[in-house]
Structure 1
Amino acid sequence: MSVIRQPGLFGRHTRRRVVGVTAAAGAATLEAVAVGLWFTLVVVETRTAAAALAGLGILFCGALLRLGIFGAATAPVQVLLTPRRIATMLTLVAAWPLWILLAERIDGVLGLTVAGILLGLVLTVQFVLECRVFRLPESRRCYATAALAGGLVALGASILLASAWFTNWTVLTEPFVVGDTALIFRIEAYQLGILVFGAFAFLAHQRRFQQTLEP
């Protein structure tokens, strides 16, 4: 029995997978940092107008960088800031304040659930818009992947909010003595929630890049 080999086939497949995983890790890290900082400013700390504006600026920068990663990994190098791409970024930025305001308006487990579902729907639309602005092929698989990714990010966000609302514990480490200074690290539940959110964001983006780069 003869085996027909295609030179470079497995090499291209491996490169695409490495690019996908690397891009997903970068996108998830940016999203976790941006959303985590915004969440700390507007949910954990005392909310002020200055903090809300700073949080929106952080979300916008995070959305801009994440969109740049998606474009660099999936499409030829083009101008990043176009009206349609700015509109896509603003959709992502607006999703997070809308999510927290709705959750706080309804309150409790019901608010957490309803706001999480709405966030998942908005993120699904935003992921589809990203595909369109970069002129990527759309199909049922594309829509299904966008819905799955949106659901994963929304689930991670719901766990993050639950860690701030429904848990009230703090862990203090043993003092680390550095010269004449004793350092004590304080770990709170919402900080672990941010890490969980980042893990769900990675799963979501890894699935998106896999669907895009490995048709």
Structure 2
Amino acid sequence: MSVFRQPGILGRTTRRRVMGVTAALSAASVEALAVGCWFGLITGPRTTSTALAGLGLLFCGSLFRAGVFGATVNNLGDFLEPRRLSVAVALTSGWVVWLLVAELIGGGLGIVVATAVLTGILTGQFLLERRVFRRYAAASVTFTPMIPGLLMAVGASALLATAWFTDWGLASPPIALGVTTIVIEIEALHIGVLVFGLFTFLAHQRRFQRVLDP
């Protein structure tokens, strides 16, 4: 009965949920694309050009993903504002540290340790973003985003495991298109990117839900 007495409450709640899901999908898509492209570059032969290109893609993805969070909880603002740039730099550095830890230790143990490290990094990253982009109305939100950080770290570990421990691929029969023949190939890394994107979406959805509807 209280809903009928206050119809605006239901409308605001629905709008917040739709906004949260839309923002989570946007952030997850940007992050999966950026991290997936970066990962695809560094899993091949590493050169100075591929390293710089990968870092550039990762930084741009981090900047846009931070922009999605800022536009959702506050306003779009200026992407090149120093505080917002610092958020993107911190996130980019976090991904690099995660991969370095995994490679230095190596094997399954390296993935486990790197997952724990990335969970801590992402939790701190989310706290930093909330401090930089938070709305005045949501200034009292005090939850620690440990679960979103863990979800995203698990997805990243699945991506890393597919690159290190799997070597298979699927290919479709040749498809004739006029004078051209195409073959669709799916590799393990592609599945890893999809799994990472799914976990990233779940992480951001929980995060936006807690921020928009504390």
**TM-score range relative to shorter protein:** over 0.9
- What is the rounded CA distance, in whole Å, between the counterparts of 1:139 and 1:3 in structure 2? 25
Q: List structure 1 runs of 4+ shifted beyond 6 angstroms.
A: none
Closer, same or farther in 2 for the Cα pair 1:3/1:71, shift >3 Å?
A: closer
Using structure 2 for the length normalisation, give the TM-score.
0.93
Amino acid paired to 1:10: L
> Aligned residues: percent identity?
53
Task: Verify the 8 A CA contact 1:175 1:183 in the aligned structure 2.
Answer: yes
Spell out the pairing of 1:23-172 with structure 2 (5 A cutoff). Answer: 23-43=23-43, 45-136=44-135, 137=139, 139-141=141-143, 143=144, 146-172=145-171
Offset, 1:149: 0.9
Closer, same or farther in 2 for the Cα pair 1:77/1:97, shift >3 Å?
A: closer
Offset, 1:213: 0.8
- What residue ranges of structure 1 are gaps of 5+ in the alignment? none
**Count of residues paired in the alignment:** 211
Task: Verify the 8 A CA contact 2:31 2:61 in the aligned structure 1.
Answer: yes
Offset, 1:8: 1.5
Closer, same or farther in 2 for the Cα pair 1:58/1:2, shift >3 Å?
A: closer
Closer, same or farther in 2 for the Cα pair 1:2/1:131, shift >3 Å?
A: closer
- What is the rounded CA distance, in whole Å, between the counterparts of 2:191 and 2:131 in structure 1? 34
Offset, 1:120: 1.1
Offset, 1:85: 2.0
- What is the rounded CA distance, in whole Å, between the counterparts of 2:176 and 2:76 in structure 1? 50
Over the aligned positions, Cα root-mean-square deviation in angstroms equals: 1.7
Task: Verify the 8 A CA contact 1:20 1:213 in the aligned structure 2.
Answer: yes
Closer, same or farther in 2 for the Cα pair 1:53/1:158, shift >3 Å?
A: same
Deviation string 1:65-116 (CA, Å, 9 cap, x unpaired) is: 1111111111145334332222211110011111111111111001111111
Deviation string 1:10-40 (CA, Å, 9 cap, x unpaired) is: 1111111111100000000000000000000
Aligned partner of residue 79 in structure 1, secondary structure: coil
- What residue ranges of structure 2 are gaps of 5+ in the alignment? none
- What is the rounded CA distance, in whole Å, between the counterparts of 1:213 and 1:42 in structure 2? 36
Deviation string 1:144-199 (CA, Å, 9 cap, x unpaired) is: xx111111111000000001111111111111110122111111111100000000
- What is the rounded CA distance, in whole Å, between the counterparts of 2:13 and 2:2 in structure 1? 22
Amino acid paired to 1:202: F
Using structure 1 for the length normalisation, give the TM-score.
0.93
